[in-house]
């Protein structure tokens, strides 16, 4: 009786085995290196989103973890590609949380950002 493994050439067996090891290795690497928090923080589109998420983490850690979980799920499902500051702010306001972004006023004179005294001159 001839088994299936006897019919397959050694070079093909080796290639299939390497491919199998690569796929198993990738699955392990993905699960180890990718935490939901890192994934969500990488997908934040602007500084305002980062600032609001930091404040949310400081003032409401349990809400922060829940929001990270939901953002992660939505990113993995392809519903979101990136998260901007307005989206984060809207969610915070919808939840009724009292977190306000820092107020930043920038003055630009001749294409350069300057402070208020230089702007008035």
The domain locations on the chain are 35-100
User: Band of the pLDDT at 108, cuts 50, 70, 90?
Assistant: confident
Mean pLDDT confidence for 88-98: 91
**What average pLDDT does the chain have?**
83
Q: For tokens 């702007």, what's the residue?
A: 119
Share of the chain above pLDDT 90, in %: 38
pLDDT higher than threshold 80 for residue 2: no
pLDDT (0 to 100) of residue 52: 93
pLDDT in tens, 25-54: 766 555 556 788 999 999 999 889 999 999
Mean pLDDT confidence for 99-111: 84
- Residue, of 18 and 37, whose pLDDT is higher: 37
Cα–Cα distance measured from residue 103 to residue 69, given in angstroms and rounded to the nearest whole number = 28
Cα–Cα distance measured from residue 69 to residue 73, given in angstroms and rounded to the nearest whole number = 6
Question: CA angle, 111 as apex, 105 and 115 as ends, to 5°?
Answer: 35
């Amino acid at each position: 009786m001839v088994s299936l493994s006897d019919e397959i050439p050694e070079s093909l067996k080796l290639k299939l085995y390497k491919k199998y090891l690569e796929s198993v290795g990738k699955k392990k690497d993905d699960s180890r290196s990718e935490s939901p928090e890192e994934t969500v923080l990488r997908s934040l589109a602007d500084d305002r989103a980062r600032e609001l998420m930091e404040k949310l983490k400081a003032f409401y850690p349990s809400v922060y973890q829940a929001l990270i979980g939901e953002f992660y799920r939505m990113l993995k499902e392809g519903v979101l590609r990136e998260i901007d500051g307005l989206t984060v702010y809207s969610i915070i306001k919808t939840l009724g949380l009292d977190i306000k972004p820092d107020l930043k006023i920038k003055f630009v004179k001749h294409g350069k950002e300057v402070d208020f005294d230089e702007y008035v001159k």
